[in-house]
Amino acid sequence: MADLRRKKTAKGTIVHQVRYRSPSTKSGYAYRNFETVKQAKEFLSHVRQKSSNGLSQSTIRTVDDAVGAWLDICQSEGLNGGEPVTRYTLQNYSYRSGFVLGFEWPKEIWQLTAPDIVSFRSWLLRNAPSRETAQKVMITLHSVMKEMAIRGVIATNIATGITIRMDSRYDEPITIPTTAEIKALLWAADSLANSSNGQTARAWQRYRPMLYLAIDSGMRPQEYLALPRHAITEAGINVVQALDGGERRISVPKTKAGRRHINISESTMDMVSHYASRHAPENPFDLVFPTEKGTWQTRRNWQRRGFNIACLEAGLVSKTVEGGKTLIRPKFRPYDLRHFFASMLIAQKLDLKRIQSMMGHESIKTTLDTYGHLIGDEEASAPRPGLVAMLGDKVDVASCGSEATSL
């Protein structure tokens, strides 16, 4: 994205500066000064014309060029026909791309062979801060090469098949609350909302429906924290937005699968709708659960000021000894409520594709990696009652057996 600016030099003279994309620089931009506006506009026109001509071996000669073009495509067009990435995702991509740019590639991009990619992988494993980071950088390189191949810059994606393998991040068992612990959390929320302490009661006027909704829907914390009023329907919730990874703004869900409709039990819907219409502060983002100042809550504040308090009230804590002192910490995190929701879907023997849809997973592999061991345990055990029967009249979560549909 090139543009024209007027700048004053250190000597006090005025120059006309063109800023344009240059993947070979650290900032991703290069600058050229001209004495006259006419010269600057002619150069600007040339740069824009060159950009509009598309990608080719004449414009993309090095890996650095390819990375710069790929980042621009991610930001302006979106990969594979998808939507442009969010600012936070672009920052992550830029960070990973820095490792690709840091390697001294020995040839121009069209001359590279598989051994060159293997050499990069070896260098990356020695220089990346962690194996996980190295794996993500290799995924980025694959995406760059794939994009260059489908646009005709290179004949084939020579990075195909050269990867960094890692054990699943879900090899360690995930933490799933029991039905008794979930009931204890809900009773704690009820108690706090009816506290004789006015400040506590006011806070839990908001936190209580949040906790019920998290349990009843399986939504990610960043989804219900960014829930807008217009996403509430008679039957449930439309997941249409979420906090981005840095929590600096509200964005669309990270993947298409994240956009979905979730049926919610009537009791929870009444609670959420009542708070949204009667108590939620007016705010420019139309949020159901905003702060008093009208902005969105952060996941950290929700966990510290809301969820952790409910865990302590319910007695759901763990004790550890550090430095001779006994420390009491909450036993669960807000995300564990999502795992509980998924475990109940599995207990009700829902089809795996329906579970994937309701959880908002883009790939069924994610569903299997996360909950595959539960499916195996469930098949090996006797049928258990559904979530409604387990929780009794504490909360009607019949929605756990309902269909979720993509928006």
CATH assignment of the domain containing 74: 1.10.150.130
pLDDT > 90? residue 270: yes
Secondary structure of residue 178 in the 3-state scheme: coil
Whether this prediction's pTM lies above 0.85 is answered by no
- Taking residues 265-287, report their average pLDDT: 94
The whole-chain average pLDDT of the chain stands at 83
Distance CA 76, CA 245 (A): 20
Q: 172 in a domain, yes or no?
A: no
> Same domain for 296 and 278?
yes
pLDDT > 80? residue 72: yes
Secondary structure of residue 232 in the 3-state scheme: strand
* Per-residue model confidence as pLDDT tens digits over 297-306: 999 999 999 9
Secondary structure of residue 4 in the 3-state scheme: strand
pLDDT attached to residue 326: 85
Distance CA 360, CA 220 (A): 9
* Per-residue model confidence as pLDDT tens digits over 226-246: 999 999 998 899 999 999 877
Distance CA 373, CA 384 (A): 17
Q: 397 in a domain, yes or no?
A: yes
* Per-residue model confidence as pLDDT tens digits over 159-186: 988 988 765 444 456 789 999 999 999 9
* Per-residue model confidence as pLDDT tens digits over 105-128: 998 898 899 999 999 999 999 888
Alpha helix segments (H runs only) across 10-77: 37-52, 63-76
Q: How many domains does the chain have?
A: 3
pLDDT attached to residue 389: 39
Confidence of residue 76 (pLDDT cuts 50, 70, 90): confident
Composition of the chain by helix, strand, coil, percent to 5? 50, 10, 35
Q: 174 in a domain, yes or no?
A: no
Confidence of residue 397 (pLDDT cuts 50, 70, 90): very low
Q: What is the CATH number of the domain that holds 257?
A: 1.10.443.10
- Taking residues 44-65, report their average pLDDT: 66
> Same domain for 221 and 314?
yes
128: tokens are: 């990346």
Distance CA 367, CA 88 (A): 24
Domain range holding 59?
Answer: 55-166
